Chain A
Amino acid sequence: MTTVLVADDSETILLLMRTRLELAGYEVETAADGQEVTERVPIGGDGPDILLLDAMMPRKSGIDALRELRAAGVDTPALIVSAHHDPNDVDAPTDLEISGYVTKPIDFDLLLGAVAELTEKPG
């Protein structure tokens, strides 16, 4: 079963994401901030198939968590959820292999489509 790790500091959003993803047939893990994300994703091990990280969270942001994971060699696909993302924002990191940005309010048709596409097992 495909596992999605969702990180957001809002419990309501986590509940919403979990519900929609589980309805679509995914197994869902949740984290309340970036710190929990880095603790839950094993280095080189059998981790989640895709990360859905909120860009802004207390303690550690989704971007910072992803930066640590990438530095440790984790290449799990990641989608960044941000309140607003302007593709022209100069501070958007380009070196973190971010598969895409999801803006709030979340369009779940687009989100579920992207998750399906990114977690398709080759062959």
Chain B
Amino acid sequence: MLTALTVVGVGHFIDQRQDYETSLEASYQREMLARAELNAGQHPAAARLAIVTEEANREHLRDSISDNTRDTVILVGAGLLAGLIGALLLFTGLIVAMRRPLERLVDAAGRLAAGDRSARVEVGGLAETAALGKAFNEMAAELELEASQRDRLDRMKDEFVLTASHELRSPLTSVQGFAELLMMDRDSLTPRQVETVEIILDNCRHLARLLNDLLDLARSDAGRLTIRPRPTEPAPLIEDVVRTMRAQTERSDQTLTEKIGPNLPPIEVEPDRIRQVLVNLITNAHEYAPEKASIEVSARVADGGVEIDVTDDGPGIPPAQLEHIFERFVRGDAGLTQRVGGTGLGLAISKSLVELHGGAIAVDSEVGRGSTFRVTLPLAAPGAVEAPAPAPPAIAERPR
């Protein structure tokens, strides 16, 4: 606006100056005419007067031109200053107008990224920021819809696994129970029949283990895998697991030893769940390692916790498999798994359980040398007294 006024003003001054210059030229012409008349000796008095008048007239016009030039310079200067201030004001206004909506957008994007799927921005301000806000809201709405559909599918999957695991147990109970009944009469069975029933029972146990593992995973996914940690002495827990597992390892002529560091402090865990993890790890070592292999369970204080290692001198795990070892249904070498009865879920569950305790699980392995699985578990709060175990139910599930 101001700049436009300046331009109009400067234009006006230029017009005025042209008028002055035209008048100057005309005055000069008139003086020349008067001088010619004077030289010719015609009307000398009138000519002299005309010359003096025109000279005075031109003096006045020159003053006007000089004023005009000064005014133009002032006007141009003022115009430039006004334009600068105007631009500054406009810029500040733009920043102010864009800043609030952009800040809101950044805030909402942060909340969305943090998982708040209901994060939206107030659409407003300049056309550009409003369009940006609208696009953001559309994207957030789409994400929310996708996420809610995914949640629904996840819930359906969890429910399905829980129900399937539940419903499969009754028929499994019958198959296993009646096979056991047959075995109670094993004296009247032929050796071939005994072998057949043993295969049925082996597979029942495998199926039961698979169902338990699936159930644990479904609970873990649904956030329903819960633990009740309490201060627990690690040494007796490890010794108990090793004692239980020794029956299995001895059948393969494997040696299972324990090496427990002195004065291990109590750890904050649910003993049954850590027992389950250790049984999983020892079972893996036992099943994948050849006959006469050695398996060692060691424990020591490390990194503000207690580290329990299960080490075997078995075939080791190739690097390509090692990366995925804690994923579901990832199992060792296919040739080995023919005789290995695992479910491919044990390590995934062990990882969930250890992490639920706030611990960590890791593996080192070298093909041909063996593997070490390291479980680190948090210490119990200092001074915590080992709480008495809750009264056990009359029939606990056997260690898996």
Seen from chain A, the residues whose Cβ lies within 8 Å of a Cβ on chain B are 10, 12-13, 16, 19-20, 23, 56, 79, 83-88, 90, 98-108, 110-111, 113-114, 117-118
Give the A-B pair count, Cβ closer than 8 A. Answer: 80
| Min CB–CB distance A34 → chain B (angstroms) | 16
| Min CB–CB distance B371 → chain A (angstroms) | 30
Pairs A-B, 9 closest by C-beta atoms: A100-B394, A104-B169, A16-B177, A83-B166, A83-B169, A100-B393, A105-B173, A12-B174, A104-B173
Q: Report how far A26 CA is from B394 CA in the complex, Å.
A: 19
Q: Is the CB of A100 within 8 A of B174?
A: no
Given A23-B184, A88-B227, does the pair A107, B170 have CB atoms closer than 8 Å? no
B215 and chain A: residue at smallest CB distance: A84
Q: Report how far A106 CA is from B390 CA in the complex, Å.
A: 23
> What are 9 A-B contacts defined by CB distance under 8 Å?
A20-B181, A84-B165, A84-B166, A84-B215, A88-B270, A104-B172, A105-B204, A106-B177, A110-B398
In the bound complex, residues from chain B placing their C-beta under 8 Å from that of A87 are 272, 390, 393
In the bound complex, residues from chain B placing their C-beta under 8 Å from that of A107 are 395, 398
In the bound complex, residues from chain B placing their C-beta under 8 Å from that of A113 are 395
Which residues in window 152-182 of B have CB below 8 A to A?
A: 165-167, 169-174, 176-178, 180-181
In the bound complex, residues from chain A placing their C-beta under 8 Å from that of B393 are 87, 98-101
| Min CB–CB distance B158 → chain A (angstroms) | 14
Q: Report how far A98 CA is from B228 CA in the complex, Å.
A: 21
| Min CB–CB distance A4 → chain B (angstroms) | 14
Q: Is B30 an interface residue (CB 8 A)?
A: no
Q: Is the CB of B226 within 8 A of A13?
A: no
Q: Report how far A51 CA is from B190 CA in the complex, Å.
A: 37
| Min CB–CB distance A121 → chain B (angstroms) | 17
Q: Is B246 an interface residue (CB 8 A)?
A: no
In the bound complex, residues from chain A placing their C-beta under 8 Å from that of B167 are 83
| Min CB–CB distance B66 → chain A (angstroms) | 99
Q: Report how far A84 CA is from B176 CA in the complex, Å.
A: 16
In the bound complex, residues from chain B placing their C-beta under 8 Å from that of A102 are 395
In the bound complex, residues from chain A placing their C-beta under 8 Å from that of B395 are 79, 100-103, 107, 110-111, 113-114
Q: Is the CB of B169 within 8 A of A19?
A: no
A88 and chain B: residue at smallest CB distance: B226
In the bound complex, residues from chain A placing their C-beta under 8 Å from that of B212 are 84
Seed contacts A103-B395, A108-B180; 5 additional CB < 8 Å A-B pairs: A13-B174, A84-B166, A86-B219, A106-B177, A110-B398
Cβ-defined partner of B394 (8 Å) among A13, A79, A86: A79
B162 and chain A: residue at smallest CB distance: A84
In the bound complex, residues from chain A placing their C-beta under 8 Å from that of B397 are 85, 103
In the bound complex, residues from chain B placing their C-beta under 8 Å from that of A117 are 394
Q: Report how far A54 CA is from B45 CA in the complex, Å.
A: 144
